[in-house]
Structure 1
Amino acid sequence: MEFQHLHPYYEMMILLAPNATHLIEGTPYNIHMGDIVLLAPSVMHKSVYYKGEPSKRIIIDFMYELHNPDTAEAYEKILSPFNNELPIFRFSLEDRQKLISILNSLFVFSKEHQYYGNPADEFYIHTKFQEFLYTLYDLKDKNLYTNDQSYSSIEQKMYEISSYIHNHFSEDISLNSLSDQFFVSPSYLSREFKQVTGFNLSNYIQLTRIKNAQYRLVSSNEKISVISEECGFASFSQFNRIFNKVAGTSPRQYRQTAITNNK
């Protein structure tokens, strides 16, 4: 089973399939056709599609780097929906068509102007995308999304625990500490967590730590030993061993490969 992932750029997903579940930092959200999921950099997530349903979606990834301080406040505003506590949006048909119309004009223009070397073409694309982001920002208070969960009490408890892991992975957490925290026996927690999430609980903790470490390795110049400690590993040797097992390479080589590929 695929684990959740994260990346150093903004991501926007528009669901085209009838239904899906989107996991954000271990918490499941049921989404329907036309819903928009906004993901800020470093947010761990993944989509889960129901059996027999197509995994259709539109994904737009983009980076934002501050080049002009004069526009910093404006960008902070129009990107603020990505930092909502619940960054999923559902709009009326009329409002949704406003957004889709802008995207359609972008796609048509991109298809007709396949070479982006022309500064005027690039200017149009950037300006149109800014219009899309502003329109989304302008509509944010008209969000109709509600998370219509239909989970059993056991599933809700396990997802509560997975969300806790994502928020506390840097701390000393284990099967025993979590069983005490959530008032369940270790054997029950181990069995039900695997049943609900598909992952052994200890592996889930370590994968969450490794994914966050991978992000920091490629997005910062922090010392690897600092990343190891702040991602919750008991020792640097433990970090190296688990990182090699998960990523198939050492943390140092992982960082170096990322630097080489980005040149």
Structure 2
Amino acid sequence: MRQLVYEAGVDGLILDRCVRDYEFNMHTRHFHRHYEIYYLSEGERFYFIDKQTYLVKKGSLVFIDRNQIHRTGAVAGGQSYHDRILVSLDGDKFTPYLTLSGFQLERFFSRNYGVLELSPEDSAYVEQLLDSIADEILQEASGYEFLARSRMLELLIFASRRMSCQPAAAKREAVQTARHRKVDEVAGYIAAHYNSQESLDALARRFFVSKCYLSRIFKEVTGFTVNEYISIHRIKQAQVLLASTDYNITEIAEMLGYESITYFEKVFKRYTETSPLKYRKRQQALAQTPSGQV
């Protein structure tokens, strides 16, 4: 059974709390333009982020950067019951509220994505803070939008301080099952060689597994097929090249391993819902927009 405890939002900030008592794996094709914070109040979950799988324990926070591939999944042999709070932050809309604080949202998430394990005392503080944000939004008392955003900033500053004190190995300890290690190895290789023309057969041979086995475990862990995962990394790099270089669309397609510009444009639109040219124009317009006026 799925129980939605609450769902609340103001401009740039949305959060919901959900309890599930059945085996649940996040749907596929999950990456997006907003930042995400995941707090696990009860249970245990596997969390695949970018190219590595983590075990998320009760009382932990997870931070997901924009356009970062991620997927939660049930822990094999573990309890299916879990209670989580999910926060979505729209960087374009939320960043202007951080101007006076000096807190840099983009910098925080690019440096601190992954899992942050908390002490019982810190977990209680984080859970109370998140619930209080939802209460403010749902009750709509005077000044609720300001208070909700201020408390979210409080959470971000708290997490930033804890991250700076906690060793990287403690924040980002990967799952060590054989299946997850293999997928992490393949995902890491793809992330570094996304522009190669290596086939699924060749990848399977490189990592000493059968094609069928690799296809199955990769989809189970990441939520993506191997080819989808390759496409996503290519499109993410295409976004960087479109926004920061003068290469034309044909040159970018060739650099990323696409033999057909038509196919490149089709894949780009599938994952971004816009064309490469429109994406470049949008990024150029944003670069010329004064901060806080997006």
* TM-score (normalizing by structure 1): 0.71
Checking the alignment, whether the CA contact within 8 Å between 1:99 and 1:136 is kept in structure 2 is no
2:180 aligned with 1:149, yes or no? Answer: no
2:215 aligned with 1:194, yes or no? Answer: yes
Task: Pick from 158, 170, 177 the counterpart of residue 135 of structure 1.
Answer: 158
Checking the alignment, whether the CA contact within 8 Å between 1:7 and 1:215 is kept in structure 2 is no
Identity of aligned residues (%): 19
Q: Which residue of 2 aligns with 1:161?
A: 186
Query: Which sections of structure 1, spanning at least 5 residues, go unmatched?
Result: 259-263
Q: Which residue of 1 aligns with 2:132?
A: 105
2:11 aligned with 1:11, yes or no? Answer: no
Checking the alignment, whether the CA contact within 8 Å between 2:204 and 2:211 is kept in structure 1 is no
Q: How far apart in 2 are the matches of 1:135 and 1:250?
A: 37
Question: Is the partner of 1:105 in helix, strand or coil?
Answer: helix
Checking the alignment, whether the CA contact within 8 Å between 1:8 and 1:215 is kept in structure 2 is no
The Cα shift of 1:79 comes to 6.0
Question: Is the partner of 2:91 in helix, strand or coil?
Answer: coil
Q: Which residue of 2 aligns with 1:95?
A: 122
Per-residue Cα deviation, 1:46-77 (whole angstroms, up to 9, x for no partner):
111247614642111112345499658x323x
Q: Which residue of 1 aligns with 2:103?
A: 75
Checking the alignment, whether the CA contact within 8 Å between 2:114 and 2:171 is kept in structure 1 is no
The Cα shift of 1:90 comes to 0.6
Structure 1 range deviating more: 234-243 or 126-135: 234-243
Question: Is the partner of 1:192 in helix, strand or coil?
Answer: helix
Higher strand residue share: 2
Task: Say what the alpha-carbon RMSD is for the aligned residues.
Answer: 4.3
Checking the alignment, whether the CA contact within 8 Å between 1:16 and 1:57 is kept in structure 2 is yes
Q: How far apart in 2 are the matches of 1:11 and 1:49?
A: 19
Aligned residue pair count: 246
Question: Is the partner of 2:55 in helix, strand or coil?
Answer: strand
Checking the alignment, whether the CA contact within 8 Å between 1:21 and 1:28 is kept in structure 2 is yes
Q: Which residue of 1 aligns with 2:53?
A: 28
Q: How far apart in 1 are the matches of 2:131 and 2:180?
A: 39
Query: Which sections of structure 2, spanning at least 5 residues, go unmatched?
Result: 1-25, 283-294
Structure 1 range deviating more: 92-101 or 234-243: 234-243
The Cα shift of 1:133 comes to 1.0
Closer/same/farther in 2, CA of residues 69 and 170 from structure 1, 3 Å limit: farther
Q: Which residue of 1 aligns with 2:63?
A: 38
The Cα shift of 1:91 comes to 0.7
The Cα shift of 1:29 comes to 1.0
* TM-score (normalizing by structure 2): 0.64
Letter in 1 for 2:103: Y
Question: Is the partner of 1:58 in helix, strand or coil?
Answer: strand
Q: Which residue of 2 aligns with 1:63?
A: 90
